[in-house]
Amino acid sequence: MTTAGDVVAEAVEAAHRAHWPVLVATTVRLLRDLDAAEDCVQDAFAAAVRTWRTDGV
């Protein structure tokens, strides 16, 4: 049986795999700092996980 947590985990994994490179590249262009860009994108994914767990994907 698939749980809501499984659905969220799968959605986050799929979004991470599909969008991470473009999101980091775009954020690097804005911030001109790779470490800061990776931190920002990671924070965005963490916020998505929290939101998706309560509100759904």
Q: pLDDT tens, 11-55?
A: 888 988 999 999 999 999 999 999 999 999 999 989 988 887 787
Which pLDDT band holds residue 57 (cuts at 50, 70, 90)? low
DSSP class of 34: H
Task: Give the structural domain span for 24.
Answer: 4-55
**pTM listed for this prediction:** 0.76
User: Scanning the structure block, which residue is given the tokens 């659905």?
Assistant: 7
What is the Cα–Cα distance from 39 to 3, expressed in whole angstroms?
29
Q: Residue 2's pLDDT is what?
A: 67
Number of domains in the chain: 1
Q: Residue 4's pLDDT is what?
A: 65
Q: Residue 25's pLDDT is what?
A: 98
Six-digit token pair at 40? 């920002």
